[in-house]
């Protein structure tokens, strides 16, 4: 079980151990925000398409004809949705890079065995 402290941007286990680095927590919040914005943009675009279908049946229409001309309200919603998809993908990649970087840092600073060789003098 995890406990998230909003004020400090930390995730901790029940025993108080750190489970998520602050940078990863920030990247995860960014990913969640990008996802919410994408879902909102997708919902707005889908509703607009359904509303448009009530006025203009699109049985044989291509996808491009449904998004309208540059500057049309449907086209603007479509472009907002595309930007939201792009931001979501960027946020996902940034989280993955952060996870990889943290894993590499932890690997370098992990437990090391040092052998001390000494020679006995006779």
- DSSP state at residue 16: S
The residue among 42, 67, 40 whose CA lies nearest residue 52 is: 67
Lowest mean pLDDT among 30-34, 47-51, 91-95, 106-110: 106-110
Domain spans, the chain: 23-108
Lowest mean pLDDT among 58-62, 101-105, 107-111, 112-116: 58-62
Gap between the Cα atoms of 47 and 45, Å rounded: 5
Gap between the Cα atoms of 69 and 64, Å rounded: 9
C-alpha separations of 50 from 36, 54, 66 in Å: 21, 7, 10
- pLDDT tens sequence across 56-100: 776 665 555 667 778 888 899 999 999 999 999 999 999 999 999
Q: DSSP string of 56-120?
A: S--SS--HHHHH-STT-HHHHHHHHHHHHHHHHHHHHHHHHHHHHHHHHHHHHSS----------
pTM of the model: 0.63
First-to-final CA distance of the chain: 59
Other C-beta atoms lying within 10 Å of the C-beta of residue 85: 14
């Amino acid at each position: 079980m995890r406990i998230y402290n909003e004020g400090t941007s930390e995730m901790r286990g029940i025993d108080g151990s750190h489970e998520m680095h602050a940078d990863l927590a920030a990247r995860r919040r960014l990913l969640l925000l990008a996802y919410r914005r994408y879902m909102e943009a997708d919902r707005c675009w889908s509703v607009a398409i359904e509303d448009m279908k009530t006025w203009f049946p699109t049985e044989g229409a291509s996808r491009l004809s449904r998004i309208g001309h540059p500057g049309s309200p449907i086209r603007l919603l479509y472009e907002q949705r595309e930007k939201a998809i792009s931001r979501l993908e960027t946020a996902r990649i940034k989280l993955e890079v952060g996870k990889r970087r943290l894993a590499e840092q932890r690997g370098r600073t992990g437990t090391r065995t040092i052998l001390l060789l000494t020679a006995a003098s006779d």
